[in-house]
Structure 1
Amino acid sequence: MQIRNYKIYNYYILIVIAIAIFLIFSKSKTLKNIRGGAIRTIAPIVSFEKKIIDGISYPFRFVKNMQSVMVENQELKKQLTTEKEKNTELGNLKYENQILKKELNIQPETKDQIGASVIGRSPFESQSIIYIDKGERDGLETKMVATSNGFLIGILTDVQKKSSTITLVNDYSTMIPVISVESRGLGLLKYGINGLAMEDIPITSNIKTGEKIVTSGLVGRYPADIPIGEIDKIISEKSNIYQTAQIKTPVDLKNLTYVFVSKKTE
């Protein structure tokens, strides 16, 4: 019954609107007097219909606007993420550039040595190994020494076509003949429970803290006079046959980013 009344009401509205349109657009002079009254009569009806239509369409407009806002929000997030990635990449490039400039100022690349970027590190804590982006095609071979800031950091133990492996001086397999610059005390550079240490120094050698340590060139695996660091502390007892000293290197072996490889193996 309510639906039927609603339909009748709609038909009434349509008839009234049709009559009003006829009166509004009619050119007859006799209808001019009632045209204004028709407009005033239909105005509230049209306004009411508009409110109903607006009320029905509002949720759809709201959903559409929300979808538009969400799409815009996603685009802004994407742009923000892109900008963050660019800034991070730029920061990394600036840092690497600073390191490279520092390295090149101290240790310029020559025909006898080549610069290389560190591209990886061994995942095993028992190994102190890094990987560089230079290899056989660049003229590298095993047993070539690697340096950073002019200080010895390791030796090439494996060379592939486009990459190489460097075993660092703080690896447990390290055994490098070294000598103290002032006292001329000979010893072996090893890595163990005392960290980086110079061992088997004759008791007659008058070594002291702060003394520079370089490769001795003995055995022939490492060229002579490559700086390693300095004596940080003498840790052996006076009763020992040989002396042992902890060695401090100025190179941060855990955060190497760029190194140099000497093409001379002797």
Structure 2
Amino acid sequence: MSTKIITRLSQERGHADHGWLRTFHTFSFASYSDWSHEQFGCLRVINEDRVEPRTGFGTHPHREFEIFSYLIHGEIQHGDSMGNKEVLKRGDVQMTSAGTGIRHSEHAHGEEQLHFLQIWAMPYQRGLQPKYYNRRFTDEEKTNKLAMIVAPATAPGVTDTREGSGPTPIHAHLYVYASLLSPATAVTHTFPKPANASSPATKAYIHLIQKSGYNTGPAKGGKILLTGDGQTMELGEGDGAYLSSEAGKELKIENVGDRVVEFVLFDVDAA
């Protein structure tokens, strides 16, 4: 089976400007609906949000989702019905395993705009006890390498504690990597075994973070080139791509632009 690369261009995502919140939706979310982009494996939401200072999402409920935030710029103030209250900064990955139900709020803290990815995944088991986790990953840990920032709670090296070292636990078949890639530099990712042993392919998704601003037109800023099985595809900031391939095959990710780029790579439904 050959590697497949299908682009999800930035200007084709759902987007909205609410004044206090400017956002892009990779998958159907809120008032944005597109049957061809509902979810990808267990991955249900990738929202790239910019929240103005002293504003945010008031207290609201969730259940049966694994919800996490990847902080890009600014600070986020979190509070929830489990008693967790804290301010998170760049480098932090915050995970809420909603399970049977939680309520939480998220606000931009301080005087700077908050820029973060809000990501939801569907759990591999329903009815779990709600839990909250926080991990920190420095820019150095992500520079010119793929840093594993999220992994299944049962995977080797993952500690099921609120804070700790290693990847952030998630109750889903999902691994997430983050990278800061310098110009003319490349990293290689090997497709893992799928969680479903009868599946011939493993799926992944890559998103190039939109560091150059809230651009509703064609992608601007940094660029990466994806190469796998002889196929190539160039992505700009805000662009993403659906990926599928056999376990063991490799994907090369190369920075072909003039600035450092930041991206996240999701191994979706991986064992």
- TM surpasses 0.5: no
The structure number with the bigger radius of gyration is 1
Structure number with the higher helix fraction is 1
Structure number with the higher strand fraction is 2
Instruction: Output the TM-score relative to the length of structure 1.
Output: 0.27
Instruction: Output the TM-score relative to the length of structure 2.
Output: 0.27
Q: Which has the higher contact order (CA 8 A, sep 6+)?
A: 2
